[in-house]
Structure 1
């Protein structure tokens, strides 16, 4: 992810945003939830905030960091109002520098001062870029993550493992400012809550009823509900990674459904939304576990019920090459091994730990559970007759 110095914010060319940022003066509930993640030797607070008072607090938090400079790493898709607001509060405490991400990697010529606190403002791509950039400080630069997407708030910002599987710099603070989500389409907010669904199914089934009763297929949530969802995600992450910061042992539960989801996304060329792919990956894993004699069918139904309440489709949107997806899974980093469940919240443990080898027949059976529904005979006949009439009427 290239990071390039940006021109002054007001002189930069206008870039379309999904929606205008809400007015800071708009009436809104004050929310302040504090959690923390202890992952091995790393420990960082997670602040979930909403409301005008929380922005005044941001200035105090920034001042307490004692930074010599705040390089703000972001991307052009982030609404300018968000960028300007964060810069204003950081700039009250120390000089700021705005850096745009472009793509590729962090250029060698872009340096970070040892006393700087790098701030990431954006989604997963920005977090990856800012983390890499902060690492250029030789361990003397600190990192603050301000995710702007529900996926980053619920998952990416809480992990010490990068997209490439390598360890990454731990932040000194993760701050989820819920106002950022107001500028996203509801469908994107919904899809970004896939980690919540995964956590309920694989880590904390005791929250099943509480979460299920508040899920909305529309993806439109009151800030209080979103805050509670994000707090649960932080708690589940903290539980899983306390003694497994690199997510190679018990914390593999956090990758439930990912093996198949990644293969589906790769085969779809990115056309399948990440949240929908995550849902399908969990449904495939559930069916595989049932067929392997590990999971009770009632637990598979619980998967389908929760995902239906969430609003993700239970089947692929159209025909797909099942055999190619199977081969992608088998050729993946885990060689076809998957996280499977013995019950909700109880991953199966085998000779190779939490990963269970799954062969082609089981994978095909699992994928059949999410294959597009075949049209009924009646509907097919209506379609056939309609086409015949259309052909007869054609000149």
Structure 2
């Protein structure tokens, strides 16, 4: 990693919640993490680690924690199929006998999936242990840790079971990204693209100039992308920490995207699914007279520059996607209407549609179907 980015720290503010957010690499980052952990005065650290990480990667963070207090490592598969209450209960059965107390700290070491499981675990044990996020993927660094939401899947849908629980701080150690597959980088940047389209369209040109289909980025590029996501999410969450008002725009593309992701059993990467969901939402908004052809094209342009897919994987049935959309966890923000589905739409880049003041638009099922069908082939 280039020495230009050694350690940067800033504060995240979501409503009345504040927590530290550091981005760094190399020995400076690790020694600073050790110092920060020591300041927590914890009697034990329990690291919930992605089982796919190497022993060296887990060992680095375990050594930082172990210099301060007794440390236990629990591993969990980063698999969408294991993101369940049963898996959280299994972690709790391993965690509680270690001797944790209310002074102990849970550390989430992995991507967004592991972060959610560890986050929910920390929220539930003793009705709330302290949480530290050490994300190891770009998607987690730029998106999932920038939220208070901690949730797992039910047997019928994504993120149905959860609560809000803030970390005490987030430590982004960029060295973890050295071996990240290109597809993981592209997937993460789809969420960043969502922030550009929905919140900060004034950053469109500079993002378009930086995006590369080969996903070969410098540390400075990665820091730029992370900073942009922090700025965008802070703009809508500063007075909406629970993401029920203005911050609902962060769910743009997620209704159809989550359905596609669920139907593939997680084989379709989360960010890619959200990118496809945004393309479908843009087509729906255009059909409803909300978006111009140019704004719809702007969605596709950024995704193509990013090297992300623009059609659903073969074998995904549009009718199954439509049926799964009916189980989306955003239902109920507005009174339901028979034959319609609740979506978040734009009426211009950076301009969420607000019928009746809410960010939820009730869309006739036939129009939702049309949007889904628009991402089943390259013909737009």
Separation in 2, partners of 1:116, 1:319: 46
Corresponding residue of 1:52: 27
Match of 1:125 among 113, 117, 138: 113
Aligned pairs, how many? 349
Distance 1:99 1:270, change over 3 A: closer
Distance 1:56 1:270, change over 3 A: closer
Unaligned runs of 5+ in 2: 152-158, 332-340
Separation in 1, partners of 2:125, 2:261: 35
Q: Deviations over 1:243-272 (max 9, x none)?
A: 111111110000000001112223334332
Larger radius of gyration: 1
Matched, 1:360 2:348: no
Separation in 1, partners of 2:51, 2:264: 26
Deviation at 1:319, TM superposition (A): 5.4
Deviation at 1:47, TM superposition (A): 0.8
The 10-residue stretch of structure 1 (281-290 or 270-279) with the greater mean CA deviation from structure 2: 270-279
Match of 1:369 among 354, 363, 374: 374
Report the RMSD for the aligned CA atoms in angstroms. Answer: 2.1
Report the TM-score when normalising by structure 2.
0.86
Deviation at 1:168, TM superposition (A): 2.6
Match of 1:326 among 287, 299, 322: 322
Distance 1:69 1:97, change over 3 A: same
Unaligned runs of 5+ in 1: 1-25, 375-395
Report the TM-score when normalising by structure 1.
0.83
Separation in 1, partners of 2:26, 2:11: 21
Distance 1:324 1:101, change over 3 A: closer
Separation in 1, partners of 2:2, 2:206: 27
Mapping for residues 245-324 of structure 1, pairs under 5 Å? 245-318=241-314, 320-324=316-320
The 10-residue stretch of structure 1 (172-181 or 94-103) with the greater mean CA deviation from structure 2: 94-103
Corresponding residue of 2:38: 63
What secondary structure sits across from 1:134 in the alignment?
A: helix
What secondary structure sits across from 1:167 in the alignment?
A: strand
Corresponding residue of 1:379: none
Distance 1:318 1:99, change over 3 A: closer
Mapping for residues 6-25 of structure 1, pairs under 5 Å? none
Distance 1:135 1:316, change over 3 A: closer
Corresponding residue of 1:141: 129
Corresponding residue of 2:54: 79
Mapping for residues 229-240 of structure 1, pairs under 5 Å? 229-240=225-236
